[in-house]
Structure 1
Amino acid sequence: MTRSALAAAFGLATAVVMLAVAMPEPAFAQNASQIARVRAGNSCPGCNLFQGDFSYMEARGLNLSGSRLRQANLSLSVMNRTRFTNADLRDVDAYGGVFSSSRFGGANLTNASFVGAYLEGSDFSGATLDGANFSGAQMQRSTGLTQRQLNRACGDAETRLPGSLRIPAC
């Protein structure tokens, strides 16, 4: 191997090593055993349920407080009286889900989709609703909602809210 070819190979190897070192740490991946535990109907507070598929699931009274459910699929699930307090629910898809009397206090629902969801009696005290879509959601008996929270979310003419609260159109 010539001196210039050796130098080029060394330079390429050095660049690859430097790139590998410069790459950020991977995000915490989902925990399959914790997802399976919840799918079996068990509580899992503080669990890593990232991108978990809980669609069509029926479970009541679960404790998922402080859990990471980011990008999870909760579509068409029934999770009445479930505690999502302080949970990470960013980017979840909860289309048509039933979450009556559930607790979302302090939860982050940024960019979540609750299109057509049933949320009667649920508590949203201190929840972050930035970019959340509540089109067609039933929320008339929900508590803890403020106009300030709803101004950062969106809905449609079918969204049902308590009292005189309003939501911007999506």
Structure 2
Amino acid sequence: MRIVIAALAVLALASPAAAQNAGQVGRAVSGSSCPGCNLFQADFNGLERSGLDFSRARLRQADLSLTILNGARFSNADLRDIEAYGGVFASASFAGADLTNASLVGTHLRGANFAGATLTGANLSGADLGGARGLTQTQLDRACGDATTALPAGLHIPPC
């Protein structure tokens, strides 16, 4: 009996992460809000909508490149390893979101809320964070950028 329990425990640990929910992904990429959804590795490339709600959603490894999602809510969302090259997220909320290792190269984040967000390993090269709210030096010290990264006054970012 112990061997069976041990084998089941090993299988549970070796199982892949929960895959995306195809129905939820379809709804979200068509432009609907999807709070709490499993959008793992979803392709949102080029989506243009305002005010969508992705709070608490799992968007890990999603492609948000060239999206325009002004005013979107990503509060407490899993945005680890996303690709958001050239995206526009003006006044979006990333409060409490996990943006670990996110690629935010060339993104427009003017006026976005980053209160409590994790930016460890995030690449903000060329990003416009002018007027960003809740952004701290401690968060930026864990991220990287370049000379073209626009930040609120008094903040700086280490080079990538």
Give the letter for the 1:22 counterpart.
V
Matches within 5 A, 1:109-148: 109-148=99-138
Aligned to 1:13: none
Q: 1:23-34 alignment to 2 at 5 Å?
A: 23=11, 24-34=14-24
Letter in 2 for 1:66: R
The answer for the alignment partner of 2:10 in structure 1 is 22
- Higher alpha-carbon Rg: 1
Aligned to 1:38: 28
Amino acid corresponding to residue 44 of structure 2 in structure 1: F
Asked if residue 151 in structure 1 is aligned to residue 141 in structure 2, the reply is: yes
Unaligned runs of 5+ in 1: 1-17
With the length of structure 2 as denominator, give the TM-score of the two structures: 0.92
TM-score by length of 1: 0.87
Q: Aligned residue for 1:12?
A: none
Residue type of the alignment partner of 1:137: A
Match of 2:64 among 55, 74, 98: 74
Number of residue pairs the alignment of both structures matches: 153
- Tell me the amino acid that sits aligned with residue 26 of structure 1: P
Say what the alpha-carbon RMSD is for the aligned residues.
1.3
**Corresponding residue of 1:160:** 150
Report the identity percentage: 59
2:28 partner SS: helix
Alpha-carbon distance in structure 2 between the residues aligned to 1:164 and 1:33: 44
**Distance in structure 2 (CA, Å) of the matches to 1:154 and 1:21:** 39
List runs of 5+ in structure 2 lacking aligned partners. 1-5
CA positional deviation for 1:26:
2.4
Shift of 1:21: 7.0
Pick from 34, 38, 50: which aligns with 1:48?
38
In structure 1, the partner of 2:89 is: 99
2:100 alignment partner AA: T
Match of 1:59? 49
